Structures are given as C-alpha cells and as structure tokens.
Amino acid sequence: AARMAAPTMEERKACWGARDEFWQCLDNHADDAAQCEKLRRAFESRCPQQWVKHFDKRRDFLKYKRKLETEGYVPPEAAGKS
C-alpha cells in the first residue's frame, strides 16, 4: 500500500472503521494492545501509514484530555507523592 494517491471514500471508510474497532477494543481492555493485535493489524493494513501515525497521536491526545477532564490537572511533581 505504498501509493501516495489520496484514498478513495471506500478506503477512508474502511480505515476509519478499522480504527474505531481497534480503539473500541483498547477501551474495552484498558488499553492492553496485546488483546487487540488482530484489530491493530487490520487498522494498519487498511490505513495509510501517515494516518496510522496521526491516529495514534490523536488517541494519546484524546486520552490525555479525557484524563484531565476526569481527574483534573495534576502537576508532575505532585504525581509522585500521594
């Protein structure tokens, strides 16, 4: 899948579908990627490499944001002492 052409609508839908299934699996397994390896492979095979990188970053960002919303901001130095 090394072509640089923009993915067709079908390809985009397949990519997003694979991403959503993979993310749903991660959500269901507390981000244990080992549980979701098959879906991860489907995600990587259906999406352009660039997108996989982008979505991985995006998921980390969304998780971080959600954490901030649920737990509030914890300064790094306060995190170690509880």
Model confidence pLDDT, tens digit, residues 57-80: 999 999 999 889 988 876 777 656
- Residue 41: predicted pLDDT: 98
Q: What SS3 state is found at 53?
A: helix
| Buried-state track 51-62, b at ≥16 Cβ within 10 A, e below 16 | bbeebeeebeee
- Residue 77: predicted pLDDT: 73
Dump strand ranges (E) for 1-82: none
Pairwise CA distance, residues 10 & 23, whole Å? 20
Contact 39, 32 (CB under 8 A): no
